């Protein structure tokens, strides 16, 4: 998950560096690269590319595509650390959706953690030192995290029936044709350095997806997702040194509350799982 977080941070950097390229087009390039790389390795290992549970695999692809498009919109319109931090609400939504999809239960104390996280989101408006960024883009980021939570639950559901590469393959399998069609109506031809950044975008995204999927499928979500939050450190570094973003006290405090809520929830879930395993033993 740490390797995945670093690779995702490079993906965020690439998207932020291409504000003149439409989101649909960026998702198309990102998906096309992942599609070709994953297909090559699936074919090389002679793994059936379409998997067993096609319905859930397609759902994972659709939810992931919607979530990524919305996330790219926030990356292009609000400070990097803010966009990345809002995306960290996805484990909260993963937990909430797991109640209905995977039969998990939410304890009363977890609701406190959720409220803490969403309070942090409200305080993120503190990033808007110029008064030009609306809550509209923050809301888009929250909806993006919601769809990511649905996608993560699909990944967890498939951990006993599908290989990592098959789960990864379905995202670009769904996203590439849809994003290609949507990009056709608003195509902006990349120039010079844009092509290099686009290639890097595709490669680091593939690395991030593979290691994230391995991480989610190899352990309890509450335990492994804790390591995902190191990505906010990279976001702060890139934002401050590369994009010259400034952070108010209110915005930093909002990030602190959001991360506190999601990390406390992850730690609590892990402790509950350990107690459950100890009782069974």
Q: What is the DSSP string of the chain?
A: -HHHHHHHHHHHHHHHT-TTS-HHHHHHHHHHHHHHHHHHHHHHTT--TT-S-HHHHHHHHHHHHHHHHHHHHHHHHS-HHHHHHHHTTHHHHHHHHHHHHT-----HHHHHHHHHHHHHHHHGGGG-TTS---HHHHHHHHHHHHHHHHHHHHHHHTTTTS-HHHHHHHHHHHHHHHHHHHHGGG-----THHHHHHHHHHHHHHHHHHHHHHHHHHS-HHHHGGGGGGHHHHHHHHHHHTS-----HHHHHHHHHHHHHHHHHHHHHHHHHHHHHHHH-
**For the residues 16-42, what does the mean pLDDT come to?**
92
Return the pLDDT at 206: 84
Q: Which residue has the higher pLDDT, 57 or 254?
A: 57
**Is pLDDT of 129 > 60?**
no
Highest mean pLDDT among 84-93, 118-127, 142-151, 272-281: 142-151
Q: Is residue 226 very low, low, confident or very high in pLDDT (cuts 50, 70, 90)?
A: low
Structural domain span for residue 9: 2-280
| pLDDT at res. 81 | 83
Mean pLDDT, range 77-105, rounded to an integer:
82
Specify the number of domains making up the chain: 1
**pLDDT tens, residue by residue, 167-187:** 989 999 999 999 999 999 899
What rounded mean pLDDT belongs to the chain?
A: 85
**What angle is formed at CA 33 by the lines to CA 29 and CA 34, rounded to 5 degrees?**
115
């Amino acid at each position: 998950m740490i390797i995945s977080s670093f690779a995702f941070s490079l993906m965020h950097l690439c998207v932020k560096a291409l504000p003149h390229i439409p989101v649909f087009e960026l998702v198309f390039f990102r998906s096309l690269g992942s599609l070709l790389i994953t297909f090559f390795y699936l074919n090389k290992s002679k793994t059936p590319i379409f998997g067993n549970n096609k319905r859930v695999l397609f759902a994972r692809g659709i939810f992931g595509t919607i979530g990524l498009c919305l996330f790219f919109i926030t990356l292009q319109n609000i400070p990097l650390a803010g966009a990345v931090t809002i995306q960290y609400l996805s484990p909260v939504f993963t937990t909430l959706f797991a109640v209905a999809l995977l039969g998990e239960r939410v304890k009363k104390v977890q609701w406190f953690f959720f409220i803490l996280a969403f309070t942090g989101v409200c305080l993120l408006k503190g990033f808007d030192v110029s008064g030009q960024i609306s809550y509209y883009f923050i809301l888009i980021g929250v909806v993006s995290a919601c769809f990511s939570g649905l996608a993560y639950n699909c990944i967890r559901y498939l951990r006993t029936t599908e290989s990592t590469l098959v789960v990864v393959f379905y995202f670009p399998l769904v996203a590439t044709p849809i994003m290609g069609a949507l990009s056709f109506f608003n195509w902006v031809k990349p120039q010079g350095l844009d092509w290099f950044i686009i290639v890097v975008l595709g490669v680091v995204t593939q690395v991030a997806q593979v290691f994230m999927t391995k991480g989610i499928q190899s352990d309890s979500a509450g335990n492994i997702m804790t390591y995902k939050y190191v990505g906010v450190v990279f976001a702060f570094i890139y934002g401050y040194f590369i994009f010259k973003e400034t952070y108010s006290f209110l915005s930093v405090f909002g990030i602190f509350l959001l991360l506190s809520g999601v990390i406390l929830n992850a730690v609590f879930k892990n402790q509950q799982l350990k107690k459950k395993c100890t009782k069974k033993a």
